[in-house]
């Protein structure tokens, strides 16, 4: 993961881009990983841990109607989290992660390990769905790594 982190850091710095994040199921892990790189404050103003729907709505700007219609674990919410955190921090890029890390909380339709990662950059806003298998810690780590892989792919 260090190689990807260094590539992202180099690219964000070179292009003078900023990145902010809104995390739910990863609980701050992605922010912790990003700030492992010395000098990350040049491109990373901060992030929000939006674990509850109330924080998603009031702090990040996820619409109550979106939560009601699609649920907190959805592509729609991941996109709104990415857009909202980007707007809140006035960043060039926003990432939103929402999912079910387990071991409980899953259902047949939305099982443990289901994660959505949203990215907002320029006029592009998208979300990808993943289903990771493993324990809580593994799912959280895998979601963070995948968010970085997506970001790196977007930047290169």
Between 2 and 80, name the one with better pLDDT. Answer: 80
Q: In this predicted structure, what is the pLDDT of residue 131?
A: 98
Residues 30-72 have pLDDT tens digits of: 999 999 999 999 999 999 999 999 999 999 999 999 999 999 9
Q: Is the pLDDT of residue 1 over 80?
A: no
42: DSSP letter: G
- Domains in the chain (CATH in brackets) are 2-155 (3.90.950.20)
pLDDT the model gives residue 112: 97
| 103-107, 139-143, 144-148: the lowest-pLDDT one | 103-107
Contacts 24+ apart (CB under 8 A), 148-152: 148/1, 148/4, 148/5, 148/8, 148/30, 148/33, 149/4, 150/117, 150/119, 151/8, 151/19, 151/93, 151/95, 151/119, 152/4, 152/7, 152/8, 152/11
Summary mean pLDDT of the chain: 97
């Amino acid at each position: 993961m260090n190689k990807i982190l260094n590539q992202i850091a180099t690219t964000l710095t070179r292009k003078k881009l900023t990145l902010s994040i809104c995390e739910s199921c990863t609980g701050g892990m992605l922010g912790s990983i990003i700030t492992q790189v010395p000098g990350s404050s040049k491109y990373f103003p901060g992030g929000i841990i939006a674990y509850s729907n109330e924080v998603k709505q009031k702090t990040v700007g996820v619409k109550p109607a979106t939560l009601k219609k699609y649920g907190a674990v959805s592509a729609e919410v991941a996109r709104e989290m990415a857009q909202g955190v980007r707007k809140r921090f006035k960043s060039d890029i926003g990432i939103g992660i929402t999912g079910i890390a387990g071991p409980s909380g899953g259902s047949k339709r939305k099982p443990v390990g289901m994660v959505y990662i949203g990215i907002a950059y320029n006029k592009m806003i998208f979300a990808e769905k993943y289903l990771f298998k493993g324990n809580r810690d593994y799912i959280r780590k895998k979601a963070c790594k995948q968010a970085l892989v997506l970001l790196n792919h977007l930047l290169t």
